[in-house]
């Protein structure tokens, strides 16, 4: 029966020409045991299943297991104003390095085919490749991940350029996008190689990592602890605890083995909390097994924040997925937002990755006041249409607030023109305070968004940095839909709550209309010199493809479709 079901799924995949036979077959084989287990032992109903797939609003979830609320301490003060306190930058700040989404590809081959039919390229067919289709030495703007020599060059650049680094945050996705070729052994080897090298390059710097959705095999699947070994993720947590123990104390072991999360206090008055927020990822099929098994980590977060508040500690929270992403389950994101609002005076910063965008997200209270900022580190991989980048935060050493940050990149086109004869020319792309505002408090960022809604050119500048000034993106430009998406994405931290997003979009629309009146144009101006530019790179969370970012939609949406087919067959839909 299992073989018949898989055969039907494979036939559908091939008839719809979703992917190559190898990719279809492998992803179905990888996902089938988990899906079969969930279908057999879960009590999820079809209406709830419908609501979780892309958060379809018309499904009207009535299952209490998928619409719960956390018990939150009620002693906090009501929010009556935006969080506006921000220290003045004085040059004595701590320096925090943020690297994310390395996506190391052990099979990357310079000169190989960079335009292929699979979700990831640049790995094979070296002979007889046209020069325009050949993978560059330092990486490629197309659907290709990072070669080891590029990552190693990035680590060396950071070490040489930044002599003072107090902490390093690594917010997940070490493993590459070859989602049909993962295995426990391959993923483990990639994680070990990267973590070992980081420990060698930065022997005296504490490193605080968290888990990305690409770390497990199969991709995206993070199981509860009480399921059989054949479908359990415990192997990953055991591996990561062993590797992370270089930097983390022994008292983090229990929560890492339980679910891949932990807390540590690097210094008196400061605490780091690293979450495994793949719990919210709607491509994590274990979400369909039992919605309530996502409560314990969030309740632990609440208890840890409450203890930090009582101890007078300031907290940085590390996650992989931005909570406003369209594939972060809105119930999980909603409850996380409630925690951010309640503990806004304890939380000094939130740091994430996943989107491959050098961006930020602003959290608002239920009554509309800005209460926290999440900073996204972009990506070291070039997948897709990105220049590699990393961030360095300037953090005030008492309140632990970010008072500035700088992003460093190299231009991939220029680097590849020299091949292996010259290392990439890393340079500081911008400093946030110098380019936009010296007030990086939630209130300051909210004010900046208002200014950008009134002045689209300022938003266009931000968009350029979001896409790391990558040549393909600059050539395509950012049209009206793109700009509206950019400002909406920043102001969205729960995908189903768009109040602030819609306000800013309406304001920006008026400014864009006024631009057209002044220029006499009938179409929204583009950041590109090409009048035909129509990209929607802004990443409006209302239209974003499965996977949480355009860069990985090619592989994740495919995975999403496969499992949808399997569920349909198993449920005899």
Q: What is the pLDDT of residues 8-46, one digit of tens each?
A: 888 888 888 888 999 999 999 999 999 999 988 988 777
Q: How confident is the model at residue 49 (pLDDT cuts 50, 70, 90)?
A: confident
Please, what is the average pLDDT of the chain?
A: 90
* Spatial distance between the Cα atoms of 26 and 64, rounded to a whole number of angstroms: 35
User: What's the pLDDT at 57?
Assistant: 67
Using one digit for the tens of pLDDT, what is the confidence trace for 166-186?
999 999 999 999 999 999 999
Q: Is 217 annotated as a binding residue?
A: no
Q: Is 178 in contact with 556 (CB distance < 8 Å)?
A: no
3-state secondary structure of 267: strand
Q: Are strands 167-170 and 94-99 parallel, antiparallel or unpaired?
A: parallel
Q: Is 213 annotated as a binding residue?
A: yes
Class of domain 94-503+540-550: alpha beta
In terms of Cα–Cα distance, which of 355, 291, 347 is closest to 83?
A: 347
Q: Is 356 annotated as a binding residue?
A: yes
CATH 3.60.21.10 segments of the chain: 94-503+540-550
Quick one: DSSP state of residue 447? H
User: What's the pLDDT at 568?
Assistant: 59
Check residues 206 and 572 and name the one with the higher pLDDT.
Answer: 206
Dihedrals φ, ψ of 316, to 5°? -105, 130
Q: What percent of the chain has pLDDT over 90?
A: 78
> Got the DSSP string for 416-439?
HHHGGGS----EEEEEHHHHT-S-
Whether omega for the bond prior to residue 385 falls within 30 degrees of 0, making it cis, is no
User: What's the pLDDT at 44?
Assistant: 78
Q: Is 208 in contact with 170 (CB distance < 8 Å)?
A: yes
The residue count of the chain comes to 573
The whole-number average pLDDT for the span 530-544 is: 38
Dihedrals φ, ψ of 406, to 5°? -125, 145
Handedness of CA 543, 548, 552, 554 (dihedral sign): negative
User: What's the pLDDT at 546?
Assistant: 29
* Spatial distance between the Cα atoms of 134 and 110, rounded to a whole number of angstroms: 7
Quick count: other Cβ atoms within 10 Å of Cβ 563?
A: 25
- Provide the β-strand partners of residue 95: 394
CA angle 468, 362, 477 (to 5 degrees): 30
The whole-number average pLDDT for the span 311-331 is: 97
Which spans in 162-229 are helix H?
Answer: 184-201
User: What's the pLDDT at 547?
Assistant: 33
Using one digit for the tens of pLDDT, what is the confidence trace for 65-90?
888 999 999 999 999 999 999 998 99
Q: How confident is the model at residue 567 (pLDDT cuts 50, 70, 90)?
A: low
Q: Is 358 in contact with 407 (CB distance < 8 Å)?
A: yes
Using one digit for the tens of pLDDT, what is the confidence trace for 329-363?
999 999 999 999 999 999 999 999 999 999 999 99
The whole-number average pLDDT for the span 441-466 is: 98
Predicted confidence (pLDDT) at residue 558 exceeds the cutoff of 80: no
Q: Are strands 389-395 and 167-170 parallel, antiparallel or unpaired?
A: unpaired
- Provide the β-strand partners of residue 272: 264, 316
Structure tokens at 569: 């067959």
User: What's the pLDDT at 565?
Assistant: 62
Q: How confident is the model at residue 532 (pLDDT cuts 50, 70, 90)?
A: very low
User: What's the pLDDT at 550?
Assistant: 40
Contacts of 314 (CB under 8 A, 6+ apart): 269, 270, 271, 308, 346, 347, 348, 398, 399, 400, 401
CA angle 281, 283, 289 (to 5 degrees): 85
Using one digit for the tens of pLDDT, what is the confidence trace for 491-501?
999 999 999 99
Q: What percent of the chain has pLDDT over 70?
A: 89
Q: Is 302 annotated as a binding residue?
A: no
Q: Is 420 annotated as a binding residue?
A: no
User: What's the pLDDT at 306?
Assistant: 98
Quick count: other Cβ atoms within 10 Å of Cβ 546?
A: 19
pTM: 0.93
Q: Is 47 in contact with 67 (CB distance < 8 Å)?
A: no
Q: Is 492 in contact with 505 (CB distance < 8 Å)?
A: no
Dihedrals φ, ψ of 515, to 5°? -60, -45
Handedness of CA 307, 401, 350, 175 (dihedral sign): negative
CA angle 83, 84, 90 (to 5 degrees): 130
Q: Is 162 annotated as a binding residue?
A: no
Instruction: Scan for tokens 């938003």, then name that residue.
Output: 459
Q: Is 400 in contact with 348 (CB distance < 8 Å)?
A: yes
């Amino acid at each position: 029966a299992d073989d018949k079901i898989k055969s039907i799924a494979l036939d559908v995949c091939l008839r719809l020409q979703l992917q190559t036979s190898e990719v279809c077959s492998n992803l179905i084989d990888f996902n089938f045991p988990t899906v079969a287990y969930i279908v057999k032992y879960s009590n999820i109903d079809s209406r709830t299943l419908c609501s979780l797939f892309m958060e379809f609003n018309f499904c009207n979830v009535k299952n209490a297991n998928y619409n719960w609320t956390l018990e939150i301490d009620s002693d906090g003060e009501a929010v009556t104003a935006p969080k506006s306190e921000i220290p003045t930058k004085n040059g004595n700040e701590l320096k925090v390095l943020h690297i994310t989404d390395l996506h190391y590809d052990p099979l990357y081959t310079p000169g190989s085919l960079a335009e292929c039919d699979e979700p990831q390229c640049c790995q094979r067919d070296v002979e007889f490749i046209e020069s325009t289709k050949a993978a560059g030495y330092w990486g490629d703007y197309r659907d290709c991940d990072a070669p080891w020599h590029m990552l190693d060059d990035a680590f060396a650049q950071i070490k040489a350029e930044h002599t003072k680094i107090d902490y390093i945050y690594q917010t997940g996705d070490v493993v590459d996008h070859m989602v049909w070729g993962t295995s426990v052994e391959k993923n483990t080897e990639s994680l070990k190689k990267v973590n070992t090298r980081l420990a060698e390059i930065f022997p005296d710097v504490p490193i605080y990592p968290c888990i990305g959705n690409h770390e497990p095999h199969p991709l995206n699947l993070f199981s509860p602890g009480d399921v059989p070994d054949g479908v359990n993720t415990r192997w990953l947590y055991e591996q990561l605890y062993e590797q992370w123990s270089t930097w983390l104390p022994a008292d983090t072991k229990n929560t890492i083995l339980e679910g891949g999360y932990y807390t540590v206090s690097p210094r008196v008055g400061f605490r780091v909390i690293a979450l495994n927020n793949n719990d919210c990822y709607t491509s994590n099929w274990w979400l369909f097994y039992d919605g309530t098994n996502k409560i314990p980590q969030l309740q632990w977060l609440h208890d840890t924040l409450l203890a930090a508040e009582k101890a007078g500690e300031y907290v940085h929270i590390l996650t992989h997925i931005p909570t406003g992403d369209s594939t972060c389950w809105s119930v999980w994101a909603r409850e996380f937002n409630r925690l951010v609002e309640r503990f806004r005076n304890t939380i000094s910063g939130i740091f994430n990755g996943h989107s491959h965008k050098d961006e930020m997200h602003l959290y608002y209270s239920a009554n509309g006041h800005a209460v926290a900022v999440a900073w996204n580190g972009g990506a070291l991989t070039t997948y897709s249409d990105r220049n590699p980048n990393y961030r360095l935060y300037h953090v005030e050493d008492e309140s632990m607030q970010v008072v500035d940050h700088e992003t460093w990149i190299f231009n991939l086109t220029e680097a590849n023109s020299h091949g292996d004869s010259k290392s990439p020319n890393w340079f500081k792309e911008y400093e946030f305070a110098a380019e936009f505002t010296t007030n990086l408090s939630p209130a300051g960022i909210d004010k900046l968004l208002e200014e950008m809604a009134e002045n689209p050119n300022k938003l266009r500048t931000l968009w350029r940095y979001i896409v790391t000034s990558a040549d393909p993106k600059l050539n395509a430009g950012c049209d009206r839909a793109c700009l509206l998406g950019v400002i909406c994405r920043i102001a969205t931290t729960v995908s189903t709550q768009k109040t602030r997003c819609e306000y800013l979009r309406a304001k920006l629309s008026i400014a864009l209309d006024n631009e057209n009146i002044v220029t006499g144009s009938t179409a929204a101006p583009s950041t590109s010199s090409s009048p035909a530019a129509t990209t929607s790179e802004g990443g409006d969370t209302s239209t974003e493809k499965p996977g949480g970012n355009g860069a990985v939609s090619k592989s994740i949406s495919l995975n999403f479709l496969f499992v949808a087919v399997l569920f349909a067959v198993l449920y005899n839909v």
